[in-house]
Amino acid sequence: MRLKIVSAGEAVLRQSARPLTVAEIRGAAIQQLIEYMRETMHDAPGVGLAAPQVGQPLQLAVIEDKQEYLAGLSAEHVAERERRPVPFHVIINPVVHLAPGAEVEFFEGCLSVPGFTAVVPRALRVRVECLDHAGKSRVIEASGWYARILQHETDHLQGTLYIDRMLSRTFCSVENHSRSWKTKSLAEVKAALGIN
């Protein structure tokens, strides 16, 4: 079943979501929500979807970056972003630890801000402590694009959207991004937009 994805302006996207208990996670309602969120993410399509995006103020997100999503990208694009396929998984009650040092900037979009994109600085590496779909503890060490996805989805659970972190001068429609910036390096984009 495809769920309705709420857009920026909905209060649920600006609230801190509540943690789930292990008993709730293992219950039928949350297991069904996970499956519906998975279907909704695939249908969109997207690489992540947080429960607040479907109107549920819960600390739960689903993530999957399929090999097929990389197919239309240049080798340079994939390498620069350190993007690799990520199998489907669930993160619940995540605590994110940003690795000190390296930060990277790339265009980022969101299913709750449809039709737009902007450059967002993110930590290159993260360590995430969370529970999985069965309520078991899990630690995820991630870098590159996967680290970006984890930061983006956990932001949703704290009421934060990428537009709160973006370099505002880079905010544009997906159409304009495809026409003007998609083949440009980030340095070229920033120079053209007057960003130091």
Q: Which of 129, 108, 127 is CA-nearest to residue 119?
A: 108
Which CATH number fits the domain 11-104+122-160, given the four candidates 3.90.45.10, 1.10.3720.10, 3.40.50.450, 1.10.10.520?
Answer: 3.90.45.10
Contact predicate 170/119, CB 8 Å: yes
Residue 173 bridge partners (DSSP): 116
CA 22 to chain centre: 24
Q: Write down the pLDDT at residue 146.
A: 98
Tens-level pLDDT at each residue, the chain (196 residues): 899 999 999 999 999 999 999 999 999 999 999 999 999 999 999 999 999 999 999 999 999 999 999 887 888 888 889 999 999 999 999 999 999 988 999 999 999 999 999 999 999 999 999 999 999 999 999 999 999 999 999 999 999 999 999 999 999 999 999 999 988 888 899 999 999 8
Catalytic residue among 105, 108, 129, 153: 153
Contact predicate 12/117, CB 8 Å: no
Q: Write down the pLDDT at residue 196.
A: 81
Q: What is the CA radius of gyration of the chain?
A: 17
Q: Write down the pLDDT at residue 71.
A: 86
Q: Write down the pLDDT at residue 78.
A: 87
Q: Write down the pLDDT at residue 152.
A: 98
Q: CA-to-CA distance for 32 and 28, rounded, in angstroms?
A: 6
Distances in whole angstroms, Cα of residue 195 to Cα of each of 120, 167, 169, 184, 187: 13, 9, 8, 15, 9
Q: Write down the pLDDT at residue 77.
A: 83
Q: Which token pair is 108?
A: 């980022």
Q: Write down the pLDDT at residue 35.
A: 98
Helix (H) or strand (E) holding 68: helix 67-70
Q: Is the bond preceding residue 19 a cis peptide, omega within 30 degrees?
A: no
Verify whether residue 153 is a known catalytic residue: yes
